[in-house]
Structure 1
Amino acid sequence: MPVRTSQISQGRPGKGVGLGLALVSAVAFGGSGVAAKPLIEAGLDPLHVVWLRASGAALVMLPLAVRHRALLRDRPALLAGFGLLAVAGVQACYFAAISRVPVGVALLIEYLAPALVLGWVRFVQRRPVTRAAALGVVLAVGGLACVVEVWSGLGFDVLGLVLALGAACCQVGYFVLSDQGGDAGEAAPDPLGVIAHGLLIGAAVLTVVARPWSMDWSVLAHSAHMNGASVPAAALLLWLVLVATVVAYVTGVLSVRRLSPQVAGVVACLEAVIATVLAWVLLGEHLSAPQVAGGALVLLGAFIAQSSAPAKGSAEPVASGGPERELSARGTAA
């Protein structure tokens, strides 16, 4: 029996709505750092914060998982891939990477994902991409190098770099798997159901990795410090769960359905800019001139990439693709 799609995924609105959703997702994901850092400084292990984030979001989305339980029978590979890559893989690899290499280096390598998505489209799917989309990726990655000031930390560790690259590959999986079934009409897997089951699977995997039974739960009963201000730790966790995870994943997946993995991936680079600005405002981590210039380059790259591609359904063989798109037909391979 075909899985019914939610109304929000049936509308197939234009590129403008998809771009707006991608921006909301970038803001939501970008706000995770300013909430997680005070919790970590208050005494929580980074992996414990990730587990709390994923598990809390999984509980919020549990009713949707029950409603779309038919997905477990119809699309088990998609759900497993989303949970392992888009939820558990990205988080675990990134936090493991920053324990061995500078945060700026790990973040830049992770956000090579848009370039890797273009490589997937060009060499795996064998579809052409526009020069403008490729230029947008180059500008966005170059801008990210300035935003994170990659030159400020050169303590490279081979394993750390491999883990950061693993986070980038998992993020490619997030964009590619989010697009699965976008053109399948009534037979398309419901995006909210995919997210709900993915969060449940990701939380289960992270439970093994993070071992939450060793966590200092008392930290959540006290306050954490944010740039000199005292903020309840529970409020920060609530933000991480509801906004930085539930809202971020829902708007992110829906934006990929309306744009394309490669265009949405470039727009997602704004997350690093947003995270840096929020850290400036809320944590007192000031921006330097190169970071401001880098943020402008990321914005320019995202604009070039999304403006170079027509809305879904166009026959032009460009970055966003047209009816020849094959992502839905390659669910097993993905």
Structure 2
Amino acid sequence: MPVETSESSQGGRGKGAGLGLALVSALAFGGSGVAAKPLIEAGLDPLHVVWLRVAGAAVVMLPLAVRHRALVRGRPALLAGFGLLAVAGVQACYFAAISRIPVGVALLVEYLAPALVLGWVRFVQRRPVTRAAALGVVLAAGGLACVVEVWSGLGFDALGLLLALAAACCQVGYFVLSDQRGEAGGRAPDPLGVIAWGLLVGAVVLTAVARPWGMDWSALSRTADMNGTPVPAAALLAWIVLIATVLAYITGVLSVRRLSPQVAGVVACLEAVIATVLAWVLLGEHLSVPQVVGGAVVLVGAFIAQSSAPAKGSPEPVASGGAERELSARGTGA
């Protein structure tokens, strides 16, 4: 029938556009580390780079915050949770951790967050989780252990491990907090508004933590080395703020609105592949065979966890749905 054909065609175009937006978001997020590393090697403190990213994005998205100013009265806990936990808490704790323990170990501990979420859902909320989701988390954690080559360093600082665990707990805390929106019975807030206000809250908190007034601002007027090629530091910062944060979040939100969170989450797994390829081409960073194998296992585990359906007759698990939760999980990485 003509009407059915038209609706099907429109639905196909909508899904195609959603996949395109999800790929753009994955590319933007995946390029953040490649742009940030030369700035850090040029003399900027990692925490200052995080502050520049969050504060710059907050300024750009300020009009959205003004447009959704009603969220301050209607969803203050959600905004505080995103800003304090998903933006400021995760990144501040993670960067403090890597100052005391190897980056790979800190990253592995932080990525315990999905497993911790499932533990919260299963044992605290007493909601069932699918075996596939649990298997996916186990595979992802095991693969990540190979990616970071956790066996290469065994001398750990106790405080560093606690800071890395605090980063994971901050991420879990936001997941749990944002899950309460479905129980409130009201209309879900606009994710763009949540992101805009969360960035503002995070910028304020990170200002107190990073103390940017002590930053070497002159580094931004110099060039940074990208595998032997001089690149203006200001251009790298503009990429981090405008592309790796603002564009990445906006296209991510729009893709989730056209696709299911599960499909958008699976496409988001390409971020790891994109980041690896960009680091290889632009920074000359090569992966070992165990890291390549581990990366493949991580993607398989993420695919299984994201595409698995909730247990029959149960509410959707916190770890596998919701535009805000899916985006917050992607936006917490450095």
Tell me which interval the TM-score lies in, with the shorter structure as reference length: 0.7 to 0.9
Give the aligned partner of residue 244 of structure 1.
244
1:317 aligns to 2:320 (yes or no): no
Cα separation, 1, equivalents of 2:90 and 2:254: 19
Cα-to-partner distance string for 1:158-196 (whole Å, 9 max, x where unaligned): 110111111111222344455553688972211111111
Flag structure 2 segments of 5+ consecutive residues without an equivalent: 1-10, 326-334
8 Å Cα contact 2:127/2:317 also seen in 1: no
Cα-to-partner distance string for 1:203-251 (whole Å, 9 max, x where unaligned): 0000011111111111111110111111111111111112222234445
Cα-to-partner distance string for 1:5-30 (whole Å, 9 max, x where unaligned): xxxxxx9xx99998887765554333
Give the aligned partner of residue 76 of structure 2.
76
Cα separation, 1, equivalents of 2:206 and 2:156: 26
Q: Give the superposition deviation at 1:154.
A: 2.2
Q: TM-score, normalization: structure 1?
A: 0.81
Spell out the pairing of 1:209-248 with structure 2 (5 A cutoff).
209-248=209-248
Spell out the pairing of 1:85-234 with structure 2 (5 A cutoff).
85-177=85-177, 181=181, 187-234=187-234
Spell out the pairing of 1:23-102 with structure 2 (5 A cutoff).
25-102=25-102
> In terms of mean alpha carbon deviation, does 74-83 or 51-60 score higher?
74-83
8 Å Cα contact 2:114/2:172 also seen in 1: yes
CA 22–285 in structure 1, closer or farther in 2 if over 3 Å, else same:
same
State the secondary structure of the residue aligned to 2:224. Answer: strand
Cα separation, 2, equivalents of 1:239 and 1:25: 13
Give the aligned partner of residue 7 of structure 1.
none
Give the aligned partner of residue 307 of structure 1.
307
8 Å Cα contact 1:195/1:250 also seen in 2: no
8 Å Cα contact 2:78/2:178 also seen in 1: no
Give identity over the alignment, percent.
83
> In terms of mean alpha carbon deviation, does 168-177 or 77-86 score higher?
168-177
> In terms of mean alpha carbon deviation, does 27-36 or 121-130 score higher?
27-36
CA 112–163 in structure 1, closer or farther in 2 if over 3 Å, else same:
same
CA 304–251 in structure 1, closer or farther in 2 if over 3 Å, else same:
same
Cα separation, 2, equivalents of 1:174 and 1:270: 23
Cα separation, 1, equivalents of 2:94 and 2:230: 28
Cα separation, 1, equivalents of 2:252 and 2:28: 9
Q: TM-score, normalization: structure 2?
A: 0.81
What amino acid sits opposite 1:164 in the alignment? A
Cα-to-partner distance string for 1:288-309 (whole Å, 9 max, x where unaligned): 0001100110111122122322
What amino acid sits opposite 2:76 in the alignment? P
What amino acid sits opposite 1:230 in the alignment? P
State the secondary structure of the residue aligned to 2:84. Answer: helix
Aligned length: 309
8 Å Cα contact 1:143/1:298 also seen in 2: yes
The alignment yields a C-alpha RMSD, in angstroms, of 3.4
